[in-house]
Amino acid sequence: MARPPASTTVVRDPVTPAADRRRSTPLLVVASMRPEQWTKNLLVLGGIMFGGRLLDAGAIGRAAGAFAVFCALSSAVYLFNDLADRAADRTHPLKRTRPLASGALAPRTAVLAAGVLSLGGVAGATLLGEAFALVACGYLALLVLYSAALKHLVIIDVLTIAGGFVLRAIAGAVAVNVPIGHWLLICTTLLALFLALSKRRHELVLLGDGATGHRRILEEYSPYLLDQMIAVVTASTLIAYTLYATSPDTAQRLGTSRLGLTVPFVLYGIFRYLYLVHQKRGGGSPAALLLTDRPLLICVALWGVSVALMLYSPLGR
């Protein structure tokens, strides 16, 4: 029998991994909600941290509620995204094991779960106030639109991802009724762009020549182009955070002039992430990288503890 030409693509039916066959439907739904990605929603706690409300029991409760709302909404978005991408994910070396791509979870079940999570998240958001509900609904609408169309538009795709991070930060401030500084929004935007561009680079390197076959938008990018963008965003992020941390306005508003001492943690964290992206071919999942790379995790923890001490203890005065 003659072999098919080298260019012929052989399409195989999805094969459900043995581990998924042993899991119940609720566990498959939870896996598709990607709870390991909920660390991204910690951004909603930025408002209570930098707004001086960390020791306020009422604010803590509202911030926890905001975190729960965004966990529900982001989980719904992941389900919608996996539904839209399940055919392409079957050809991906990592994503093909996801419950929807592997065929272990029925699309109808995923639609139902996404709907329940969306309604539950929006209902919970209304309990935290009209302004918070508007931001939460804006986040859900933006990310669903990303799954449906915006992820196919060059540059717009990474800007949309960054927008999701910024809306988390805004929602956290709105939830506890504190103003959010423009510098903090700028830093959040730039850091989110850094992570999104690194993710795109990881996809290109991981998939190699098959990248464009997996996702059309990857045709518009190249490792060189992404490296140029990452270089610009990296420098901008470091400059923006340094200006924010050392600004007299920040010192007056936060009550400490020592926030600049946290700049080395930001420098190391970004350089460590770049090392993992370029030398270890990481960056596909920023949340997973944070949880699995001990030096990066320690760096982020030390930054958080340092900021808390400077804002809420005599050491920062």
Where along the chain do its domains lie?
Answer: 181-317
C-beta atoms surrounding 122 within 10 Å? 17
- Identify whether the C-beta of residue 200 lies closer than 8 Å to the C-beta of residue 233: no
pLDDT of residue 21: 54
pLDDT of residue 3: 44
- pLDDT at site 288: 80
What pLDDT, in 10s, does the model give residues 18-41? 455 567 889 999 999 999 889 999
Which regions of the chain are under pLDDT 50? 1-13, 18
User: Structure tokens of 22?
Assistant: 């042993």
Whether residue 69 contacts residue 63, with contact meaning beta carbons closer than 8 Å, is answered with no
| pLDDT value of position 173 | 94
Decide if 273 contacts 289 (C-beta within 8 A): yes
- The pLDDT of residue 9 is 38
Confidence at residue 6, expressed as pLDDT on a 0 to 100 scale = 42
How confident is the model at residue 212, as a pLDDT? Answer: 56
* SS3 sequence of 97-120: HCHHHHCCCCHHHHHHHHHHHHHH
Render pLDDT for 2-22 as a digit per residue (tens, 0 to 9): 444 443 333 344 555 545 556
Residue 92 has a pLDDT of 78
Distance CA 231, CA 228 (A): 5
Residue 211: the pLDDT is 56
pLDDT of residue 296: 94
Q: What angle do CA 97, 100, 104 make, to 5 degrees?
A: 80
Cβ partners under 8 Å of residue 4, min gap 6 = 10
Q: Would you state the pLDDT for residue 135?
A: 96
Residue where the block lists tokens 């094991």: 97
